[in-house]
Amino acid sequence: MSVIVLVAWLVTAGLGSYLGTVWIRHGGLRQRGAGVTRLPVWLVLGHVALAVTGLCAWLLFLLGHTRASAWAACAVVLIVASFGFMMLFRWLPSSGLHARADTTAERHFPFTAVVAHGACAVATIVLVLVTLVPR
């Protein structure tokens, strides 16, 4: 089961990397000027850095079989999810029918990629909890 968690986490990371690439390509790192992005760099980079930290903690669990690192990964992934929800709620106004005039970088996110990233993230969190909670 723990290897399935790793695969889910890597798929989620791959989708997130794609979204990050789209965001950067459309000027997301340029924080100057109105309308460039609704996503602060600290939020995006914090989301990425914590996700990588959690993934490393999960790898430590897989390699060293230490439950403490698995629980650390669980705690970190919950913080990552909260950052993800903050970004989702900032992205939603640029994704609707009335967003045609929106010029933000995140306006270019494909809806299916956002949904897939979120669904894989939820699956990863559930799988982490199912793996860790004793039966």
Burial of residue 86 (CB within 10 Å: 0-12, 13-18, 19+) is middle
For residue 12, give the nearest of 124, 126, 133 by alpha carbon.
Answer: 124
The pLDDT of residue 83 is 97
pLDDT tens string 24-35: 998 888 766 666
pLDDT tens, position by position, 86-116: 999 988 876 665 566 667 888 889 999 999 9
Structural domain boundaries enclosing 124:
2-132
pLDDT, averaged across the chain = 89
Q: How many distinct structural domains can be found in the chain?
A: 1
Would the pLDDT of 68 be above 70? Answer: yes
pTM of the model: 0.86
